Chain A
Amino acid sequence: MEALRSLILEDLVWSKILYGFAVAVVLGAVMLVLNVRLIRNYD
């Protein structure tokens, strides 16, 4: 949220932007691993 907000309200504040992307990438990786495990074990 803060990363998106900084992009709209401020100039490029890389500390906030990178933090936002890092959170999304980490959570995305967790979800991907979880889904791959679930679909491989689906019967």
Chain B
Amino acid sequence: MTQAWVLGQRALREGWRTPEALLPTLFIPLFFLVVNVGQAARIFPSHSTAFLHGQGYGAFQLPSSLLLAASFGSAALFLVEDIEGGYFDKLRATPIPRTSIVLGRLIAEAVKGVLLATALVLLGLVFGISVASGVLGFVLLVGLAALWAVVFSGFMLSIALKTRSAAATNSAGLIFFPLLFLTPNFVRSIRSPT
């Protein structure tokens, strides 16, 4: 576990030193939030839309943005970079368990997921969205978003390890978009309770 933590710290430093890879993961979900709210907020006014529970439409859209941000993890692409650059082979030659290489990446994604989700929710608070479930709800919200970041990064890492190709790994990440639009993204499903 110590090795995994050390490799996780390395992955975090890697992310910190490459803000160009990190910033779009915050910007793009915010962009979708603003665009979707701009498109549909007038159709669903808060005072007459039961499923909004008195909040604005932004509160309904924020979870989509949280999941989107959590699904933009760069762990797999950094892993492909390690494979192509030969660093991965050096790691495999060291006396550390191979699983710690994967675990390190996932630990780093969990930490990044917490930071990104916190930033998005705090930005949401600035724009009038409130977390109805309180402080515990905020913690659970951030925790669940970070957990999803680990899940999706795990999926991306498996593609990276199988294909060893940056192009294939990058394309595989796009699967999130059709999945997102299969959910009740814009309006609550009529089968869901209000």
Contact = CB atoms under 8 A, between A and B. Distances in A.
A40 B161 CA distance: 10
B141 A25 contact: no
Contacts of B133: 6-8, 10-12
Contacts of A40: 98-99
Contacts of B158: 31, 34-35, 38
Interface residues of A, number: 28
Contact of B144 (A3, A27, A31, A32): A3
A10 B132 contact: yes
A1 B68 CA distance: 11
> Majority SS of interface residues in chain A?
helix
Contacts, number: 104
Contacts of A28: 147, 150-151, 154
B154 to A, nearest CB: 3
Interface stretch (B24-32, B59-67, B170-178): B59-67
Nearest to B89: A42
A34 B154 contact: yes
Interface in B87-132: 92, 98-99, 101-102, 106, 129-132
B148 interface: yes
B141 A39 contact: no
Interface of B: 51-53, 55, 59-60, 62-64, 66-67, 92, 98-99, 101-102, 106, 129-134, 136-138, 140-141, 144-145, 147-148, 150-151, 154-155, 157-158, 161-162, 183-185, 192
17 contacts: A4-B67, A4-B141, A7-B131, A8-B60, A8-B62, A8-B133, A11-B137, A12-B137, A17-B144, A21-B147, A24-B147, A31-B157, A31-B158, A35-B106, A35-B158, A36-B102, A39-B102
